[in-house]
Amino acid sequence: MRISPETSQLVLNALQNLENSEQQDIQQLSTGRRVNADSDDPAAAAVEVNLAYQMDSTNQYLQSISDLASELQTADSSLNSAGTAIQQAISVGVEGANGTLSQQDRTALAQQVQGITQQVLNVANLTYNGRFVFGGTADSQPPYQSDGNGGVTYQGNDGVNYVEVQDGQTIAVNEPGSQLFSAPGTNVFQALEDLSNALESNSSTTEDIGNAVTSLRSAYDQLTTARCFYGNTIDQLLSVQQSQNTAKIQLSAQQNNVVGIDLDAAASNLSNAQTAQNATVEAAASLNSLSLMDYISAIGAQ
Amino acid sequence: MGGLVSTMGIALGALEAQQAGMEVTTNNIANLDTPGYSRERLVVEEADPFVQNGIALGDGVNVTGVESLRDTLLNLQVNDEIQQQSKSQTYVNTMNQVQTLFPDDTTGIGQSISAFFQSINSLSTDPADPTLRESVLSAAGNMASAFNTTATQLSSTRQQLNQVVDQQVQQINQLSSQVAALNVQITGAGTSSNQSTGSLLDQRDSLVQQLSQLVDLSQIQDGNSLTLTTQQGAALVVGGQSYALSTENGSDGTQHVFSAQGNDITGEISGGELGGTLEARDQTIPDLQTQLDSLASGLVQALNSANAMGTDLNGNPGGNLFDPVSGAGAAANMTLAISDPSLIAASSDGTSGSNGNLANFSAVANQAVADGETPSDCYADLVFQAGTAVENGNAELTASGAMLQQLQQQQSAVSGVSLDEEASNLLLYQRGYQAAAEAVTAVSQMLETAINMGAVESS
């Protein structure tokens, strides 16, 4: 059979193929990605869409967790200071129940209690980023309003907001004031007002004062119990945060598996392609070095 | 006839034949790099012998013509493979651009969908916050414009392909008429005997090859004349007559291709650049558009109903977040219906602080909004489709490329010029010419001798 005399096209095709493969290797090495176009691996590209989505979600969850945690911590520490203030009022009440005190002394104690009421009121009307955090979902106005005579009424609601902190898990992120300060039967402000009134009134007995202290104690207990919500939620957030950080590492590893490159393999592919290219070029150079034409002049000269 | 004079005739004939051989060889060498050139060979035969005194003596050599070496079947196979090759190449080139509209991570529709749902989660931590509301609105706007951009680019790609179809049809017509003209020349040359048709055949082969790049061809060899039709039978060239294809804008807004008989053959063309262009324009891209539109309308509908379930910051029931869209053009027309962030209905209890309704938005991310898939899955499917289109095209391209290369090597084995071969021919003809020239000299000397003897035989 006659052999095709045209070798240049063969060489050209071989070189082009090698150059294509080199270009691909270089692109992979420079981007760190094996899939630089959907067509490089359509199935991997499709998986990457969802992995990228999960990565975005994870980052968003972490952001939300950190925003929430700082709000909840502020609320928690404010409630702590309210608790301390109420404890102080209880001490004042216990002191006031001492029969040896003069009415003048008691009036002074009542004023202390009123001061404490103001402190607790400030906590109950705590704002975070412009929102009244203890007003339930009615958080655009102060939930507790003083009537000017020591009486305080709750303007908030019982609404609770839930935020998704990881796929499929939502957690409650607020405790309405109606659970903290003005729970049915254990109203902090009512108890403080009663104590103040008992201390101020000439007619009240040490027993009256003692009763007021008792109901303040139970309001304090309710506040302390309800306040646990914040501590628990913060703990929960921190634990979710931890698992989200782990998830993030796993996702990133998964993304690398799906669309990332095996650095060693890509580098060795590149060097193989370069070796093959050199060999082809050398072979091509030697292919056309021999021709009968070279001998014609020699024969003709004989 | 006989004697020295006729011997001289034989020697001169030999000289002519060797010279003709030299001419053919030199022509081969000259056309070493000419695309489409098939090597030629001198065809010679022994002259009829003459009988003298009962003995048959050879009467030298006759040049009967020049033969062009080609394998018609191989040429057909090469052309078929060229049709496949250029179809895949055109398709891949087009879809390579299209697939960049469906990136898999940090840009495009997928990212905009993700960013929207993340902004909803962010808003749920502080549902009345104007900045967070603004960013939900802007994420929704970005999502709409990502759909708009992709949809617009898909349709403008189809528009560009309409122009490409026009150009390709023009090229086909031009080549067809050239083939028809060559048919006339070749059949004309064929009848006036001994005239070499090789270069005309080469020209026609090369035109047919160019036509094969453009469209799926069917060839019928009728003597020296070549009839060309599309594979589905629309005539392009019959003898000396060419039949022009035409294009016309159809009701679907694309350029349709019509045969000279006026039949719409758009759907029949399956090879060549035109075939590749039409496949991308009429099949792959419309499929992507349909799915994109159904994702857009599904998302719009789901998010609008989510908004309608809640209460906005002013205490009013939520209205449309996007203008309702459906069917073809949904992605291109996706537009925000509101520009006031307070109209996002985050609240489920009417208070501004409630985020209860945002869960309905978040739920859309896991809801089957289009083709039974979640928004993210549906987009991932688009990425997969666009990528697979190119991947399959590339695979076909590689396969037909390898095939074509092999066939072209075979073709070149038949028709290609080998310098070694021509060099040995050159030597042969050179030596032959030298020998014949020696013979002329010898006969001439013998004639001179005979004249000097004064005895010249009558002839």
Residues B424 and B392 in one domain: no
Residues B423 and B289 in one domain: no
Residues of chain A contacting B127 with CB distance shorter than 8 Å: 161
Judged by a CB distance cut-off of 8 A, whether residue A30 touches chain B is no
pTM for this predicted structure: 0.85
Judged by a CB distance cut-off of 8 A, whether residue A68 touches chain B is yes
Contact call for A159 and B114, based on CB within 8 A: no
**What are the helix (H) ranges across chain A?**
8-31, 42-96, 103-124, 177-180, 188-200, 206-259, 263-287, 293-301
* Cα angle, residue A190 at apex, residues A187 and A193 outer, rounded to 5°: 150
Residues of chain B contacting A64 with CB distance shorter than 8 Å: 121-122, 124-125
| Confidence grade of residue B459 (pLDDT, cut at 50, 70, 90) | very low
Which 3 state secondary structure label does DSSP give B165?
helix
Question: Which contacts qualify for A131-134: CB closer than 8 Å, 24 or more apart?
Answer: A131/B126, A131/B128, A131/B353, A132/A156, A133/A71, A133/A74, A133/A75, A133/A174, A134/A75, A134/A174, A134/A175, A134/A176, A134/A177, A134/A180, A134/A181
Q: Which residues contact B398 (CB under 8 A, 6 or more apart)?
A: none
**Structure-token match 């469906």, residue found:** B102
Judged by a CB distance cut-off of 8 A, whether residue B117 touches chain A is yes
Nearest chain B alpha carbon to A59? B118
Q: What is the pLDDT along chain A (302 residues), one digit of tens a residue?
A: 677 777 777 788 888 888 888 888 888 888 888 888 899 999 999 999 999 999 999 999 999 999 999 999 999 999 999 999 999 999 998 988 887 888 888 889 989 999 999 999 999 999 999 999 999 999 889 999 988 776 788 999 999 999 999 998 999 999 999 999 988 888 999 999 889 888 888 887 888 888 889 999 999 999 999 999 999 999 999 999 999 999 999 999 999 988 888 888 888 888 888 888 888 888 877 776 667 777 766 555 55
Nearest chain A alpha carbon to B376? A50
Instruction: Say if strands A162-166 and A152-154 run parallel, antiparallel, or are unpaired.
Output: unpaired
Does some domain include residue B31? yes
Residues B51 and B164 in one domain: no
Residues B81 and B123 in one domain: yes
pLDDT value for B255: 93
Judged by a CB distance cut-off of 8 A, whether residue A138 touches chain B is yes
Does some domain include residue B32? yes
Mean predicted lDDT score pLDDT of chain B: 90
Does some domain include residue B402? yes
**Structure-token match 């009701």, residue found:** B251
Domain count, chain B: 2
The pLDDT tens digits for B80-108 are 999 999 999 999 999 999 999 999 877 89
Does some domain include residue B411? no
pLDDT value for B193: 41
Calculate the CA dihedral of residues A178, A179, A183, A184 and round it to 10 degrees: 90
Does some domain include residue B235? yes
Residues B215 and B269 in one domain: yes
Domain that holds residue B53: 3-69+417-453
Residues B28 and B115 in one domain: no
Contact call for B351 and A159, based on CB within 8 A: yes
Asked whether residue B343 carries a pLDDT value surpassing 90, the answer given is yes
Does some domain include residue B458? no
Q: How close, in Å, is residue A209 to chain B by CA atoms?
A: 39
pLDDT value for A298: 57
Q: How close, in Å, is residue B398 to chain A by CA atoms?
A: 10
Contact call for B352 and A60, based on CB within 8 A: no
What's the average model confidence in pLDDT over B310-325?
A: 94
pLDDT value for B56: 84
Decide: A193 and A151 in contact? Cβ < 8 Å.
yes
The CA R_g of chain B, rounded to the nearest whole Å, is 38
Decide: B304 and B140 in contact? Cβ < 8 Å.
no
Can you tell me the distance from the alpha carbon of B96 to that of B393, in angstroms, rounded to the nearest whole number? 10
pLDDT value for B457: 53
Judged by a CB distance cut-off of 8 A, whether residue B110 touches chain A is yes
Judged by a CB distance cut-off of 8 A, whether residue B418 touches chain A is yes
Residues B333 and B267 in one domain: yes
The pLDDT tens digits for B235-265 are 999 989 999 999 999 888 899 999 999 999 9
Contact call for A292 and B104, based on CB within 8 A: no
CATH 1.20.1330.10 fits A50-256, yes or no: yes
Which of B125, B314, B347 best probes binding to A when mutated, by most A CB atoms within 10 angstroms?
B125
Secondary structure element (H or E) that encloses residue B145, with its range: helix B130-191
Residues B59 and B145 in one domain: no
Phi/psi of residue B15, nearest 5 degrees:
-60, -45
Residues of chain A contacting B420 with CB distance shorter than 8 Å: 5, 291-293
